[in-house]
Structure 1
Amino acid sequence: MSRKATITQKEIVNAAFKITKKEGFEQITSRKLAAAAGCSTQPIFRIYENMDGLKKDVYDKAAAYYEDYYNDFNKTHEVPFVDLGLAYIGFAQKYPHLFRLLFISGQGTGGRSMYDLVNGSTENVVKEINKATASGAGNAQQLFMQMWIFIHGAGCMAVTGDYDLDEASSVAMLESAYKAFCLG
């Protein structure tokens, strides 16, 4: 009689996600994952042939985590792209390892681009582009690209610890960039 599996794929993914959140995906080893999941390495190898499958599942969980983070983010600014930028930078500061996995590592799965992640299922970017158009921006798509390069740079600086602006300074910087890009 075979033994009943006591560890599920979901439990393994949750354990891997916790390690990724704290230390980064590249720090996951089968032994560390087994210890975090409370099992031997055997169930991990039974469920996952290799780390690529696990990485895809952790990536998907991190993408959902970012979407929840953005959806729960308090959006109070009238200037387009400011809240989008604040949330993105805040995520980078709070969850640098998840940010690296999603937005820097190039490990996107399922054909999802950085734009797809940020836009999310509720079309966050589309809403901001429409907001920019409604406020009189000439080429809101181009404006988004300029703002996005600026915002992504700030997010990357946050991950490396080189971004130390408080929220008020960040808002002022994002608003200033928006106005400058509108003129250009």
Structure 2
Amino acid sequence: MKELRKIPPKAEITREQVSLTAFELTRQAGFEVLTARNIAVKLKCSTQPVYRLYKSMEEVKEDVYKRTVDFALNEIKQYSNEKNEPAMNLAVGCLFFAQAEKHLFRLLFLSEYSSDYTKYNDDLLNEEIYQAFLQLDPQLCTMSTIKTREMFKKLSAYWLGIGVMIHMNSQELTIDDAVVMLEEMYYVLKCSALSKK
């Protein structure tokens, strides 16, 4: 008589797997395609594990947004050019993120979800970039908080505008041109702020 082989139990899907899959789906195709069904297709399972691990798709989206913030901060901090001041490297890192991670950039800076999320939660991404900005340039710490916040706000508006042009593949602007423009604006803003101390 043939011995029956036991089929090993199917590995149970974890919350981390769902979260990572949802993040990768967003990164590849955009936040708009984030549904329990699309996550399940990627995981090769039914939607049941998604709803067992999360109360709703809103909770999945919040998880993906937080993961995107962490990923963006890590990516932005990777850029380094020894000719630049460290705070300038951070701003340039934002431009490279806009170019390389189009769907994630759109989620963090151009989506309704982002503005709704930051209405009810801390704007961790901007706050983290601001804190890194302060720590990386000791001269900024000699200015008042109001002045540094004002300089950061102006620089952020400037890099975000350039970032959108890069994100949209504007042919008039190369990444090299964008970096030069950002460097020029950074030094203008910094000199102006330091002279008004």
Q: Which has the higher contact order (CA 8 A, sep 6+)?
A: 1
Aligned CA RMSD, in angstroms, stands at 2.8
Q: Partner of 1:19 in structure 2?
A: 25
Identity, % of aligned pairs? Answer: 28
Q: CA deviation at 1:108?
A: 3.3
Structure 1: tracts of 5 or more residues without a match: none
Q: Does 1:108 align with 2:117?
A: yes
Q: TM-score w.r.t. structure 2 length?
A: 0.75
The 2-side partners of 1:97 and 1:132 are apart by: 32
5 Å matches for 1:117-156? 117-119=128-130, 123-128=131-136, 130-132=138-140, 139-156=147-164
Q: CA deviation at 1:133?
A: 5.8
State how many pairs are aligned: 176
The 2-side partners of 1:151 and 1:81 are apart by: 13
The 1-side partners of 2:44 and 2:68 are apart by: 21
Confirm or deny: 8 A CA contact 1:102 1:108 kept in the other structure.
Answer: no
Q: TM-score w.r.t. structure 1 length?
A: 0.80
The 2-side partners of 1:153 and 1:129 are apart by: 23
Q: CA deviation at 1:75?
A: 4.2
Deviation string 1:59-79 (CA, Å, 9 cap, x unpaired) is 111111112212322242435
Structure 2: tracts of 5 or more residues without a match: 1-8
| Misfit runs of 4+, over 4 Å | 132-135
Q: Does 1:7 align with 2:18?
A: no
5 Å matches for 1:37-52? 37-52=43-58
Higher Cα Rg, which structure: 2
Change (3 A) 1:4 1:45: same
The 1-side partners of 2:166 and 2:179 are apart by: 15
